[in-house]
Every structure is written in structure tokens, then in C-alpha cells.
Structure 1
Amino acid sequence: MLRKISSALLASAAIVGLSTAAFAADVETVTVTGTRIPHANVEAPTAVTTISSEVLQMSGTVNVSDMLRSVPSFGVSGISATNSNFATTGAGISTLELRNLGEDRTLVLVNGRRYVAGVAGSSAVDFNTVPTDLIDRVEVITGGASAIYGSDALAGVINVILKTDYEGMTADVQTGRTEYDDEVTYKVHAMFGSNFANNKGNLVVSATWSRNEGAWAKNRGPLRSDLTVSGGKSSYSAYGRIAVQADFDTTALATLDPTKPGDIENAVGGGEVDVVGSGVGPTGTVSPYGSKYGFDRQPWRAIEVPVDRLVFSTNGHYNLTNSLQFYMETTFANTKSSANIEPYPHDSADLNNIPASAGGGGGISIYNPYVPASIRAAALASQANLFTARDAALAQAASAATPALADAWTTEAATLNQLGLSDNYLTYRRRLTEFGPRHYNANRDLYRLVVGAKGTIFDNYNWDLYFNWGHTLDTQQGTGQINIPNLREAVQAHTATAADISAGALLGGGPAKVGDIICDNSYAQAEGCVPINLFGLNSVTPDALKYVMAPQSRIDNIDQQVIAGSISGPVFKMPAGDVSGVVGFEYRREYASDVPDALSQSGQNAGNKEPETIGSYHVLEFFAETEVPILKNEFLAKDLSVGGAVRWSQYGTGNSTTITNAYTGRISWSPLDDLRFRAQYAKAVRAANITEMFAPGGEDFASVDDPCNGVTPTSTGSTAAHCLADPTVAARVAATGSLTLSLAEIQGTGGTNGKGKQDLSPEKSDTYTLGAVFNHDFGSYGSLMLSVDYYDIDIQNVITRVGRQQAIDLCYKGTSYPNAFCDMVVRKSTGGNFQKGAITEVNTGYFNQGYVKENGFDIAISHNFDLNEVDWLKGGLGLDDVGQISTRLNWTYTNGFSDESFGEVTNDNGVVGAPKHKAQFGLIYQNGPLSMQWETDFQSRVYLTPFQKISIRPYYLHNLSASYQVTDELEFFGGVNNLLNIRAPFVPNAYATTGTTSVADVYDAIGRRFFLGARFKM
């Protein structure tokens, strides 16, 4: 709630770099994230960041992800409320990632156990469903942890630990809004906990409802209009923008080069563009297209999507005996979110209704009754000119010097003939304002159940066995889309005659009368077809709209089942203490399906085909871990220990089996009480997810550049040699002298994009960490805590998706031909030799390729200072209590961040979203019932992209919050986020989040906002 509402303000109080656990004063033995072996807090073997429940409560945060995103070690979320309005299927989902290495490489646990995904086909968790108000603490480690927790932990682990043994009742209410009067938020929460059965058991119940009504571009002056955001309105006019084939350059006929077929076709212009204003048919007003007809998209756009959340959770246990406990966790979460974008930009190409004999593609007949007479006349004149050019090409064919050249001129004549025939049809573009916005509603339900038992055997050995089930159901509904089959019928219309009426003509399913405009197809008439007028503002009638609108739907199901068990305890004694060990197993099954509606699957709602994705896999794992004390309380060795872990995993998909191994080794050395050094090496793995293995690939018709275009028999270089090695290219070059592609051959290359592969190898990473922790109490000068950690992450065998153009280039521009990428490229092999060689399909998918490497430093400084210890300050003011001040600085410096994909190395360090320096500074003042907090978040100067060296200024954000304990039972709290209303840095439109002038998931595009709440405890 209230994105980043003072969330980081208090985070700085509890987040001590990556080493908070090492600084804790409480030394009770616990199991911390990063190991399954119990340690005292001060002996945490790896760097752990801890955020306590007190921090979450005082900050007013509704979703724990809002707080965590501001921690320097976290990257830019793939999906959040501020970047998902145009990612319509994921609108409102809230995910987290570490080190900018992706959600699929960040493992999320709840109480040390996996949490079911919220995005079908991936392992990304939706933090909307995590019960924030039931959290006791959040522990975060970065770097490889697969040996401890399994696949996906290449970047690190986020472990959410819930409250247990809670007694009492807490209730709180909260509200907030921005100074632009949007992002209105509400929250109501209640939690109850009690012991039962003579204190043998405890049950905690938590329920939270929250609402965020979203933020809108139209409410912010700089974002109110397309003229300020993109420099001009959209060319998809709400009136109807019509293209009439332009006259070709008439001098081309006089200067025609008989050896260069194609000169005429290439001289054909793009067409006159007109807008129909008021009126229809012959009475329609036609005007030259101008910006005044453009469409302003900004008033329709949300820059933060609305989200409603209801989360109900329980956490309970019952001690059957002193050595046997049964436990259970349940969570039900319902999230409702919506995306809202401007009405659909319809292009006649969506129709694909023009016969191949007339040029193919999509358009509307010039004889349609709604077409203005002046447009019809211009089309007929253009057609006559093109037929003249066709005749000129036929004359050249008749006098050609060679048969091959004659064939080429014949092909040119045929192309010009088709262009002329296509002038019986008009192409157009239109913003479908009558359809209303493209609006998508998502209703997501999450169910989670954990049942287990744990206990002690043989006095010293602890065992744990549990079943963990999670299910996510995501149902989505959308409006504002077109039913293409129905629209195709609705644009084929004529004026009803007496003969039509005698034949039983229908309009909208009812009898038509003479003079009505009716659909051409009698079968469509019987199904309720109503002709549509696309020319003119608000020209689409309600009946026509009803006939051509296509409601969208999508159903995603995710299912996770885990059975796991472990046993831990001392293995044998050494002089420095017990050697501890853990062994265990885990069986896990993951299933996901993503099923769009029938029209979307067939590509009949103005989009490409979206086939359903369905897949599952299972994994059986065995793991072991040990910790060996080497020295204890010796000179320069208050403590020295080593540890290690190993995990063996077998993945199965039904068609294949993959075995992986992960392992880690670590050392921890404390030469003095206040100083500790630690180092760790980890080999981590990530197996392919369901999308990467089972996605059927989406349809794609985007144009591509053919590196063979223009190749001749005398062309030199390896690319030309590879092209000429393709038999279809060689045949065309031999027939015509070159592979010179026509405009029709260049445009609209088909194929599929993103097809999964079940034989993908797992990603593997090597992670090295080296750190030092200093913690000392200087008495009246306060306590100082300092940690410095170096990290180096090297991920190899990266699972990535090759692009369509990339596949073509890798095929023909690579070092060898043919290669694996050439299998993705399909060229035309039928017809005459002069027709062969053009690329007809490019089918891309997932590959194992390249690496991602990142290294840097995490530095944290914490200083707690009791002002009462300063005698002159307390005495000089004459106060009994002047309070305490705590300061926190968390700083991440990224020294290197790069990736290599298909031979191309990219330096990602210092670009938008990945600054070299990212820091938090917090100052907290506490005095009795009053707490006040100030925080500054900082990102250093960055470049727009690795290739666009446009500099973007450093960014600071300031937050202020306070709370006051009125009584032991009642507390008021409130705060201001982005206190100084600092505007997000300007980013050019091509790179900005749609609807903004910045990158809304990196910088704050919402502005100053306020929150206020009350909390009651008893």
C-alpha cells in the first residue's frame, strides 16, 4: 500500500547491510537462512539481511515487496504495480528479484519451504499473496544456495518467516493518497493468537484486506497529454485514416532500365492519407490527414494499476508430547487487479480478407456503401495508373535479352497487376473509440497448505517431515478487442435491393428492408451480422459494435506439491565442539497451464495466435550438510569452523531425465570477539521452468532483414558464401542474377517465437563471497556495527530465447554453415527458380547460451547512540530523557555486470535499473512513545542503455514517517513518501514506461503521497 510508503524508512533500522544476523544481540540458537544447521545469531555462517515484524508494522507497509525493493541488493522487479499496466496478463502481480538476475533465479521460501508461483510457467512468486501482517521477520541471502534449498537459488533466497506462539489481538486501519488525489489506499487488518490445550498448542489467525485504487497519467500535468509525453498524438485517428495507392513516379517509364525489373514497383509511393470526418458514404467529409485528427492516449492510461487484496492465514502447532509436534500453515489469498489502456488501434491488415489474386492482405472494398465517393474515385484513378505500369513491364518482358530477365519482368508485371487489383480495396487505420478502453480484469486465488510433524529422537537428533501444497488460479477477462471473423463479415456489405428482400435478407438477425445496408454473406446475416461503418467519428452503431466486439478470457492454473523430510544433529565430537550434520530428501511436482480463449488461440481477435501452454515436471532430491568446528577460544581464534553442503537432484518431464549436483563450502573465523571473517564458494543450479520447456511458441509476422538480400554470383565474403550454399538462394541467383527481394517478400515473415525445449540443460553458477563483520559497543559513544562483503556470481549455460533476426544472422553470419540456427529459417522452395529463396518463416525458441556475470561489494554501517549517555546534552537541556538516535547506511557497489548471448557481450553495469551505486541512509529518533524516521534512497548516475550513452542524473528520494504510542493499547502512525516530490528523471519515450516520461519501476513516477493509520493491541 502506497508504493514504498516509508517502507524503507524503517527497513534501514533493521537491515544492517547483508549482515544483520551477525549483529543481533540475542544469541539464542536458531536456524538462519543459508544453512539448515542451527547457529547462534552471532555465528551466522553466511551474510544474512533480516527485517523484523516491528519494522513492517511501524512503516505502514501493506505488501512486504514494497519494502524489499528499496534494499540495495534487490533488482528491478519483472512485474509490479507500476510496470504491468501494459503487461496485461500480469497486471498487478508483485514479484521480487535479487541482483537484477531475474525472478526465476531468486528462490522464495516461507518458513524455509518453497512457495507456489504466481506467474504460470515460471517460479516467480506473487508477493500480494504473502501474509505481510503475519510475518515475524524476513531473511535474505544473496548468491548461490542450491545445495541448501534446491533449484532457482542462483541469485539468492528470500525467506519469509511467520509468527508462531503469538498470544493476543492486534487490529489496525490505514488510509492514504497522493497529492494528485489518486493512489487512494485503504487497509484493514486483524490478527488473533492464543494457546490452547493447557498450552500444548498455539494458533495464530490473520486477515488483511487492502485496496489501492491506482494512479493515472491524466492527473499529472506533465503526463496529461500525448503531446508532452511522446511529442505527438497517435496516428491511429478516431475518425478513420484511409490510404489510397499513390501515383508512381511517371518518369520511371521514360527512364526505365531494361535490366532492372523492380524500378516501377519501387517507384510506387505510400499513398495519400485522408481522414473522414462527419457523414457517411457520398456525403462524408474528407480532409487531408493532420495531427489535429490524432488520438491522445494519455487520459486512458494508468501508471499504477489498481489492486485489491484479501489474505487470510493461519499458523498453528500442537505438541503431542515433549518430543513430537504437529504443525500446520494455511493461506488463502484473493487478489483483484485491472489494467486499462487506450482503445484498440485497428489496422485493415488485421482482416487478412483480400484474395491472393488481388494482392492479399486486408482492406475494405471501394464499393462498400460507407466509403466516401471522393475516396472511391481516387482509388479507381490509381488503379488505372498501375495497370499502365503493368503494361510497360509486359513490354519489357517481351523484349528481354535473356529468358531469366523475361521471367523477372513477367514477375514485375504480375506484382503491379496485383497492386492494381488491390486498389479495389482500401487499407485504413482507425482508433476504435466506440469499443472503449482495452480493459483487463484479473481475479487470482491462491491456496496453500502445509501439514507436518517434527520432533526429537535419541535426545539430540531433530527430525522434520512435511507435505506442502500450493495452488494458484488466475482467471482474466478483457474487453475492447475485435472479433476478426465477425469484423471481416461486417465490412463486406452492400445496399439491400428488392431481390435481397425477396431472398430473405436479414439485418442483425431480423428482416431487412430495401435501402438498408446489409452484410454480403447470407450465413453471416443469419448469425446476426450488422455492417460496420469505420469512417467517421463515433460512426460505429451499438448493434454493429455488439456484433464485432470480442470479449477475452484467460485461465492460468499452477500447482505445486512437495514432500520433504530431514534429520539433524551431532555426528561426533571434536575438541572445539560437536560436528553437526543434516541429511534429507525432497520430492516436488510442478504443474502449470496457460489457456487463452478460443479466439486468441486462433489469432482471430486482431492478434497473433496464442497457443495454450501446458506442462509439468517432477524432481527427487537428496541433500546433506555439515558444520565442523576447528578451534574455539584459542589465541586469535575465538571461533574457527568450516562447513559444506551437497544436493543431488533428478528431474523428469516424462520424455527426459536430467541429473544435477550442487554443492557449497564455507569457512568462518573470529580472531576476536568483535570481528569475524567469512568466505563461501557455492555451485548452484537452475533447471528450466515450464514455459522454457513446454511453450508452443507464439505466432509472429514481424519483418526481418535477410542478409542474403542482394547476393550475386560474384559476391564475396563468408556471409555471401553461406547464402549461396542454400540451394533455394542459389537457384534464384542463377535464374535472375541476384537474390533481389520484392516488397511483398520482405514484409510479414511468418513463424513462431519462443518455442520451448525439453532437453535444455540446467543453468550453473559459481558464487564466491568474502566478508568481514565488526561489532563493538563503545559505551557512551554508542554501538557500531560494520560489514563489508564482496560477491562474485558467474552463471553459465544461461537459458535464453533467441530472437528471430538473431537466428537468421547466426545462421548466415556465423563461422560455419549450416548450423543449429539454420534449422529455424525456412525459405520458399516451390515455384519457378525466379520465385525461390525468400524467407517465409523464422521459428525461434529457447537455447542454452552464454553467461551472466556480476560482482561487487555490499557495505553496511549501523550506529546506535543513546543521547542520555551524553551528560552535557542531557544536563544542558534539563531533560530527564532526550531519547536515542540510530543511523543506518546500506550501500551496494556493483563493480561488474555483463552478459554474453550468442557471441555478443553486453556490459549492463551502470545502465537504467542497474546503477553502479545504490544506497539507503536512515536516521531514526526515538523518545518514549514517539518515533520519527528519515530515510534517503540513492541511485547513482546511469546511462540509458549499454549502447545509448545518454546520461541520466543521480536520483535521491526522501521519506519521513512517525508513530506515537498513545497508550499501551493504542498507537497512531503516519508518513510522507517522496517528501520533496522529486520528479523521476526524464527518459526518452522509446525507453520510458508507457504513459510516463521515466522508467516507473526504477524511479518514482507517482510523486508525493501520504498515509495515516491507527493500531490497537490487547
Structure 2
Amino acid sequence: MFKRGSISTAVLACLGVYSGAVLAQQAPAPQQTLERVEVTGSRILSVNAESPAPIQVITAAEIGASGVANLQDLLLKNPVFGTPGISRTNSNFSTSSAGVATIDLRNLGSNRTLVLVNGRRYVSGVPGDSSVDLNSIPTDFIERVEVMTGGASSTYGSDAVAGVVNIILKRNFQGMILDAQVGESQEGDDRKRKFSATFGMNAPDNRGNLMFNLSASKQGAVYSRDRSFSAVDQYTLSGFTGEPADIFTPLRPFYSSFAPQGTFTFRDATLNANRSFTFDPNGNQIPVSTNGPNGDGVGATGYDRSAYRTIAIPTDRLMLATKGEFNLSDKHTVFFEGNYASTKTKTRLEPFALASTDILDSGFIPAENFVNGVRVRNPLVPDTIYNNALDRDGDGLKDFSFTRRMSDIALRGNKADRDTVRIIGGVKGEIGKNWNYDTYAGYGFTKEGQTGTGQVNVVNFRNALAVMQDVNDANNNGNTTEVICIDPVARAQGCVPANVFGANTLSPGAAAYLHAPSSLNTKTTQALAGFSLSGEPFELPAGPVGVALGAEYRRESSSTEFDALTQTGLNAGNALPNTAGSFNVKEVFLEGRFPLLKNLPAVKTLDATAAVRQGRYSSVGNTTSWNSGLDWGVNDTFRVRASYAVSTRAPNIGELFQAPSQTFPTGLIDPCQGVTAAEQSTRATRCLANPGVAANVAANGEFTLNQADAQGVSGFDSGNPNLKAEKGQSLTLGFVITPRDLVKNLSITTDYYRIKVKNAINTPGRQYALTQCYNGDASYCQYITRRPTDQGANSAGSLEFINETNANTGGDFVEGIDLTAAYATKLAGGQLNARLSYTYMRKAYNKPTPDAEIDRFDGEIGQPKNRWLLNLGYNIGPFGLSATTTYIGKSHLDDTFLNNPDLWVTIPTKSQASVKEKYYLDLQGSYSWGKSTQIYLGIDNALNTKPAPIISGLPGNVTGAETASIYDAIGRRYYIGLRYSL
């Protein structure tokens, strides 16, 4: 009798992927019972489960040999995956979803990578998005992971444009496995604690099976100050004066001009010019020298932000997973799956950088005020300002502007509690001899509650700066020498005067009055149901025809709610309005597998596949996806496969409905830099048309930016309810070689892939908008706002806002070759296993708009042309050794950055803007006592490979880490663990 089940060891060999352990564990014996199995990428159950699309398999043994606490850490080593959209090492500055673990196939984006659990969708871990948080899936409950690259929307629906990651949980497990592990980095941080317990039991008469997994892990923080490459605030030389020999040589230190003691600027009546000063530690007024008179940080009045920034945020996880099956009869089975995950993260970064423009739009703070028509001095304002300042905003009052690091309030950061729940259940079984059915329904949600510190209440700050000496005892407390807030309503609400002149000058009462704790609550839900029928309705001369058909329904919703001050931007930070939305989709699908030829010369088998899916979305209307494939078994040694798919991706909730949300982009080059009044180019003409730019040029001779303005660009990102579905076209051509007669246990696969996404849902990019506005299409200027003339000679005309809206853009394209090779053999009384995975990215680009030139990104940092992963494992008796080598090829900076004519520096060649290849080596050894106990220990990044220097100001930089996400910024780390099975 045939049974529906998981893919067998023999089937994996047919796929051309060796699934034996790289490990220190014995591989299980091959299954003897023939089963009808479902291969990722198909809904048809078949004994001969072969796929015309390439599939890579990562086994439970490999997961165990990696020692990872999170599946993301292992998957990202595989060269088919791009840099992660979100991880615990690149999300310290995230306003939400910090510490979430997402994956990205082919560098096409995590929202184009569909993550499944046991072949079914999983609820998103990111509000407004479709990305799954791998934190919520316990690694020790996983049997294997099947990775299929290429479009699979006809099988699974939207989001499978780049491919599918199908996480298969353990099945029919009996007994108990306990796993405990501790570890830390060479520097004594990144402390890891992990514990997992898996239990399984069969029902009486083997009519069912019930399994549980309880997992807990803690991963500690890594701070920027504890790594030499990020210990000091720094910035790239690009965009500033100088001609560096190496673009990666930073200005170091490059301290922030926003310092705790403050910098104060006023228009001096005597000099008739702007004048600035700050304070030394003794409270004396001194000139501003951000990085010291010699630029070496000695005697600097600036602020080192790296002393507080975080490379890896601490992450705690608690997970409970369960699954079970119960046979109603020999042919019908009920099943269920349940997941609960609680994740806690904590971000930390430097105190808030406040400018007077955050408090008043003009940026001019009165040094005096009118009280009942009488001019009253602010007694906290130093004499230097009060005696010499002019009125600059026309209100008749002397004024000044300032910047200040609010270190006497609190560090910035947030604590987040994230809960994910997923429950799914159904009935599956056989109908007649050749038909199988599967019906299911499920519900899942992810909730996040977040509290933050370090922001300021802008309204309260305005009140706290408008103060007077209470000579008339206005508050009736008998004290006529104290300083009080002028507004009686503000006083009644607890207003405390704010002394911002110097470091740590705010009283505890003032700090409490000004502090604006933030909050965020999000919820993402997913409800789904489906039915499929698979069978063999008739036979052709070459074998039975396989058919699958079915229908599915899915409803998704998402909401994001910030506190009132954050929504309006009245906490001096990002203005982040609430966002909410939902959609539903009804789909039907049909799939067929057709054996065309069999047992002929040069044709052992020749099978064709075809599938189509029709969907109706409440958001974008009707969609159609389809694919076709051909699998040609030439003989027992050589097999050729090909597939072509047209996939669709409907816009997610955030892309459709996101309210204008403020962000602070980095790595931008202002096209107006260096423009002079005499220049006659299109760029100069458009730049000088802005009054602020013209005023800046008139005062300085050319358009000049100061440090604060270069780092102070903001903008708003918005959704677009008029988006249409994007369409992906993917082609794969490959062959599989299994030369059993010549070399046993050797498997080689080679596949060419090409994926093109039309009408891709993206934003054109802020740098593209800048370039077009001043050198090309002037319509892009509507998205750009510059500071007005009243901001002073050095700040006037600087970029203030560059806004972006989601659109169906020109598209994305990736093309390359994958190679895998696996080999196993007996050696010196032991077992040697080896596997190589290599990816060559031949070409990749995106088009910001349909009419734009393509922007190549193959070979750029984060998307190297060459990547490979080599696993070697050897076990003999109770001993086991494994080694994993990861290679990241030589890469260069973003071409858009290199070719920008507005850079102040010149980069003649890519070689002067390239980073060398990187090798990472992970090692693990183990020793087993009998069949029940195993101790293992490992070293990750054993060579202590340093990250490439992608410093602040360069594209791809992760703030605080001073590198890009693709590189390891933590360094060498060790772990030791114990497994016990019963």
C-alpha cells in the first residue's frame, strides 16, 4: 500500500542533492516503504518524485552541526540567499521589528521569498509585510529545509517570485531529545544560551503520533565600542573635501556636532555675522571644534556616538511547537500543527540629537519674551547671547539657535515583546486506489508591543524654554528668585524650566517633563483554508498521468499603532502615523504531470509538467500564474531538467496602505554640492533656482554643506493604494549527474537561472530622484524640499526632505548559474561527507522607472558575483568532525554612488572602491557515548575574519556595525553543547 509521506532518501538522490550529514551523526537507514510524496514546488503525490526545478535540501543533521540558535544564521551561508532584510545585526535603528529574522532568495527581497511550513503558508512576523520571522520556528523541531529557486506562484500563490523555502517539521518521532548549549565570542560578548526538548509518542496500536518541542535561547548584545573597526565615530571622505587614495579610509574620529554641552549660534550685532560657541567641562564658553583643532579628536567638542551603538541586539526566544496525527481509519487521518513563540529584543543607541528646528520651524529660540506686553529676559540665557544677539525672525525679540545631545534625559532605544501564534488543522487521506485529498484551515497572528525611551516632547520643550524669573511670585509659593515657565497653563501641567546651556544642566524635574516615552503596538493576522485533490486519472504508454487540483482562501490584515506624539512627530523624531489595512484572495489551481516517453534509447524517462493558478484579490483584482517543466532522464547517470514559470506578487498591506512615515536615509550625495553662481549647466540652473541654495552660494562662493546638514536629511515613505500586481518570469535549465558506475555516492547538479520581474513594486530611490531632479526629469523635484534662506549661510538650501511613494517600477532582473556537488565515501575506517554549493551571479539589475537605464547591482557589496559554501564532515566511531567554509567574492560599491558626477571626490576605477573576498571557517567536533549522549563543541568564524570596511557615508552601511549586512561583524565565537536522546 502506498502512503502519503515525506520525501525519502532515495528521492533526494534523484533530485541530485546529497542529504547525508556533514556531521558527526550517523545518517538514518533508507526508508524501505514506497510512499507517495509531495515535492516542494508540486501538489501531485507520486512515488517517483522528481522535480524539473532545482531544489536544495538542508537536513536536521546539518542544522545540528551548525550549532545555530536561529535558522536564519544557517540559511544565509547558502549562496542562493542574499543579504537579510532584517536580522539582529542590522536592526538596531529600526522603529519596529528589531531582531526579526528574514530571508531573501536571489537578492530580490524577502517579500518575494515565500516561506512555508510543511507546505503551507506561515503568518508574517513583520507588520504590513509578508516576511516570515524565523525566530518563531524552533530549529530542533525541523526535519529538513527544502529550498526551491524560481517562480512557484502557480503552486503556492503570491510572493513565490524568487522561490520557496519549505520548512519540514519532524514526523512520527518517538522518544525524547534534550539539547543544551552555551557560548560566547572571543571578546566575551555575544553570549549564547540555548535549550531544547523534543518529545514524541505514538498512540495505541500506532494509530497516531503526538510531538512537542520546547525551546529557549538567549543571545547577548555586541556593542560598537567593543570592536576596533567601529569603536570610534567615523565617516567616509566622500562628499567632503580631499582626494583620498582609498575611499574606505575614513575621517576618524568624525564626532557628531550634536554634543551634550550644546552648540549655540546667534547673529552678533557688533560683528554683523553669525557667531557660535559651546562649553567646556567647567562650563566656560569656548569655540566649537567638533573633532579638535588638528582633526584628531584631541580637544574636540563633538560627541562619539559609537560609544553607545549596538552591532547585535540582545534577543531572547521562548518557543513551543506541537504537531500530531490520528488515523480515523486506514485511509483517513486528522492532523494539527501549533506554534507559539515569544521574542524579546532590546535596542540601544546614543541619546537624541536635538536641534532648535525640531522645536520651532524657524529654528530661532527667543532669548526674551513678552509677558503682559513687557519684554522679559530669559535668565538662563548666557550674557554673550543676550547682550549681542539680533532678532532674525522679525518678532522683535533677540533669538538664537542651538543643537544639543540630550544625554541628560535618557539613551534612545526600545524594548519589544513579540508573540507569534499559529494553529492549523485538517483531514487528509485516500479516495479509492489512486486519489489523495488534503483539506485544512488555520489561523495565525503576530503581535508586538514596544516601549521606547530618549525622545523629547516638543510642545513641553517650547514651554520649558519660555521662562522668566518669578519676581512677582506668579505661582504664589513665596519665592521671587526662582525661574519659572511663563505659561500658567503649562505651569499647572508640571512645566519645569529647561536649562540647555551646557552638559547635564537639565534638572531631574526638567528631564522628566521633557522626556517623551514612546509606544508601538502592532498586529498581523492570517486566516487560511484550502482543499486539494491529487491522483492518477489515467495512464499513458510511459506511465500514469498525475493531476492535482484545488482551491484556497486567505485573508490577511495588519495594523500599526504609535503613541500620539510619535504619530505627529511631536517627539522630535520620526513622524510615524498609524497604518492599517487588509485584503483577501480566493484562488483555484490545476496541475498535471505527463509521462511522455520511457525506456527508449537516450530516453529513460521524459516527463512534462504544467500548472496554472487563478486568483481574485480584493486589492488588485484578478491574477494568473502558470508554469511548465520538462524532466528528461537520459539514463541512470545523466538527467536534464528545465522549467519556466510566470509568477505574480500582489502588493502587501504596507505597500498599499502605509501612511507617510518619516525616515532618515544615509549615503546620499547632494547634486548641488560645489555649484557656483558662474556655472551654466542644467544642474547649476536648477540648483540656483532654489532661494536657499542661491543664498548659500552667495555667502560661501559655492554651495557648501556643514556636517549636521549632510547627516540631517529626512523624508517620508508612503504606500500607494493604486498599485498593481507585479509579474515575475523565471527560467531554469540544468542537468544532474549521478555516475554510480564510475564514482559511487557522487552527485553533481548545474542549473542556469534567470528571473525577470516586471512592474516591480519598489521605490525609485532617493538618489535617483535627486539625480533626475537636477540632471534629468525635473518632475522629480516635487519630492524634494530644501531648507529656506533663514537657516543661516551654511544651512540654507540644504536637503531637508526627500519623499518616496511605492510604485510599479521598471523591474528587477537576476541571472546566473548554480552548481552543487556532493560526495560520500568510506575513509580510514570512517565516513567522509562533502558538499559544495556555488553560485555565480552573471547579471543583475533594476530599473527605477520603465524608461530609465538599467542599474546593475551584480558584483556590488551585498550581491557578489561569486559565492560558495563547502561542507566537510568526517566521523569515525564515537568521534565526529565538521568544517564549513563560506566564501564571499570581491565586491565593489554601488555603481550609482561611484558614477555620481556630484561627488566632491573622484573615484577613477572600481578597483579603488572594492573590498577583497572574505573566507569564513566554522568548525565543530563531537564525541558520543553510546546511542544516547553526545557532547559537541564548535568555533564560528574560526579565522576571526574581519568585516569589510563599509563605513558611515557609504551605500550599504549598517549604522553602528561599520560594515554591510553580508559580513560578520562579531568575530570568532565559541560554543559547547550536550545532547541526550532516549
TM-score by length of 2: 0.84
Q: Are positions 1:995 and 2:969 aligned together?
A: no
Deviation of 1:39 after TM superposition, in Å, equals: 3.9
How far has the Cα of 1:429 moved from its partner?
Answer: 1.1
| 2:921–2:942 Cα contact (<8 Å) kept | yes
Aligned partner of residue 154 in structure 2, secondary structure: helix
Q: How do 1:786-935 residues align onto structure 2 when only pairs under 5 Å count?
A: 786-802=748-764, 844-868=804-828, 882-902=829-849, 903-935=852-884
User: Structure 1 residues 373 and 153 mapped into 2: Cα distance closer, same or farther (>3 Å)?
Assistant: same
CA distance, structure 2, for counterparts of residue 967 and residue 213 of structure 1 = 34
Question: Could you give the per-residue CA deviations for residues 903-956 of structure 1, whole angstroms, max 9, x where no partner exists?
Answer: 142110101011100001222111122110122111111102224330101111
Is 1:35 the counterpart of 2:42 in the alignment? yes
Q: Percent identity?
A: 35
Q: Secondary structure at the match of 2:388?
A: helix
| Mapped pair 1:504 → 2:475 | yes
Question: Following TM superposition, by how much is the alpha carbon of 1:219 offset from its aligned partner in structure 2, in angstroms?
Answer: 2.3
Does 2:464 match 1:495?
no
Distance 1:939 1:93 in 2: 24
Deviation at 1:630, TM superposition (A): 0.9
* CA separation of 1:247 and 1:929: change in aligned 2, threshold 3 A: farther
Paired residues for 1:667-816 under 5 Å: 667-698=630-661, 753-777=716-740, 782-802=744-764
Q: Which residue of 2 aligns with 1:977?
A: 940
Measure the CA separation in 1 of the matches of 2:192 and 2:799. Answer: 53
Query: 1:295–1:788: structure 2 CA closer, same or farther, 3 Å change rule?
Result: same
Q: Could you tell me which of 270, 276, 281 is aligned with 1:272?
A: 276
What is aligned with 1:93? Answer: 100
- Structure 1 residue matching 2:939: 3-state secondary structure: strand
Distance 1:723 1:372 in 2: 38
The residue type equivalent to 2:475 in the other structure is G
Listed one character per residue, the Cα deviations across residues 810-850 of structure 1 (whole Å, up to 9, x for unaligned) are 689767x9x7x68868999xxxxxxxx99999864221110
**1:370 maps to which residue?**
380
Deviation at 1:705, TM superposition (A): 8.1
| TM-superposed deviation, 1:678 | 0.2
Residue 49 of structure 1, aligned match among 41, 56, 59: 56
**Does the 8 Å contact 2:455/2:573 carry over to 1?**
no
Deviation at 1:749, TM superposition (A): 13
Q: Distance in 1 between matches of 2:353 and 2:318?
A: 35
**In 2 relative to 1, CA 719–586 (structure 1 residues): closer, same or farther, beyond 3 Å?**
farther
2:124 to 114, 117, 122: 117
Are 1:107 and 2:114 counterparts? yes
Tell me how far apart the structure 2 counterparts of residues 754 and 894 of structure 1 sit (CA, whole Å): 31
Q: CA deviation at 1:720?
A: 8.6
Question: Which residue of structure 2 lines up, in the alignment, with residue 1010 of structure 1?
Answer: 974
TM superposition score normalised by structure 1: 0.81
Say if 2:30 is the partner of 1:20.
no
Query: Are 1:471 and 2:445 matched, yes or no?
Result: yes
1:163: which partner in 2? Answer: 170
Larger radius of gyration: 1
Amino acid at match of 1:922: N
Q: Which residue of 2 aligns with 1:327?
A: 335
Unaligned runs of 5+ in 1: 1-13, 251-267, 354-359, 384-416, 506-510, 733-739, 829-836, 869-881
| Residue 30 (structure 1) shift | 1.7
C-alpha change, 1:78 and 1:459, in structure 2 (3 Å) is: same
Conserved in 1, the CA contact under 8 Å of 2:637 and 2:739?
yes
Structure 1 equivalent of residue 930 of structure 2: 967
* 1:236 equivalent in structure 2: 258
Q: Distance in 1 between matches of 2:917 and 2:686?
A: 49
C-alpha contact 2:178 2:196 (8 A) present in aligned 1: yes
Return closer, same or farther for 1:575/1:751 CA change in 2, 3 Å cut-off: same
- Does the C-alpha gap of structure 1 residues 938 and 802 become closer, same or farther in structure 2, counting only changes over 3 Å? closer
Deviations 1:473-521 (A, max 9, x none): 0111101111111111111111111x2x1x435xxxxx46111111111
Change (3 A) 1:941 1:246: farther
Unaligned runs of 5+ in 2: 1-10, 21-26, 235-249, 293-299, 369-376, 695-701, 788-796, 899-909
Once the two structures are overlaid, the 10-residue window that deviates more, 223-232 or 964-973, is 223-232
Give 1:854's aligned amino acid: V
Question: How do residues 306-321 of structure 1 correspond to structure 2 at under 5 angstroms?
Answer: 306-321=314-329
* Distance change (3 Å), C-alpha of 1:22 and 1:481: closer
State how far apart, in whole Å, the 2-side matches of 1:760 and 1:344 are: 36
Corresponding residue for residue 834 of structure 1:
none
Q: 1:211 to 1:337 in 2, by over 3 A?
A: same
1:647 aligns with 2:613: yes
Q: Is the 8 A contact 1:33 1:139 kept in 2?
A: yes
Q: 1:697 to 1:918 in 2, by over 3 A?
A: same
In 2, the alpha carbon distance for the partners of 1:59 and 1:721 equals: 56
Instruction: Check 1:81–1:825 CA distance in 2 against 1; reply closer, same or farther (3 A cut).
Output: closer
Aligned length: 888
- State the match for 2:566 in structure 1: 600
Report SS of the residue matched to 1:538: coil
Equivalences for residues 1-400 of structure 1 within 5 A: 19-20=16-17, 28-40=35-47, 43-226=50-233, 230-245=252-267, 271-275=275-279, 277-279=281-283, 285-290=285-290, 291=292, 292-352=300-360, 360-365=362-367, 367-379=377-389, 383=390
Whole-angstrom distance in 2 between the partners of 1:825 and 1:971: 61
1:32 alignment partner AA: V
Asked if structure 1 preserves the Cα contact closer than 8 Å seen for 2:671 and 2:774, the reply is no
User: SS at 1:341's partner residue?
Assistant: coil
1:628 Cα shift?
A: 0.2
Decide whether the 8 Å contact of 2:263 with 2:276 is kept in 1. Answer: no
Q: Distance in 2 between matches of 1:1007 and 1:722?
A: 45
Supply the distance in 2 between the matched residues of 1:784 and 1:842 (Cα, whole angstroms).
55
Matches of 1:675 and 1:953, distance apart in 2: 37
Deviations 1:772-828 (A, max 9, x none): 00112357x65221110000111111112245675687689767x9x7x68868999
Aligned partner of 1:757: which letter? N
Contact kept, 8 Å, 1:276 with 1:535, in 2: the verdict is no
Q: Is the 8 A contact 2:145 2:168 kept in 1?
A: yes
Aligned to 2:400: 426
Q: What secondary structure is seen at the aligned counterpart in 2 of 1:85?
A: coil
CA distance in 2, matches of 1:585, 1:804: 41
Letter in 2 for 1:369: P
Query: Matched residues in 2 for 1:998 and 1:718: separation?
Result: 32
CA shift at 1:752, angstroms? 7.2
Contact 1:22 / 1:43 at 8 angstroms: preserved in 2? no
AA aligned opposite 2:157 = G
Structure 2 counterpart of 1:633? 599
Measured after TM superposition, the shift of residue 46 of structure 1 is 1.9
Change (3 A) 1:576 1:704: closer
Distance change (3 Å), C-alpha of 1:718 and 1:318:
same
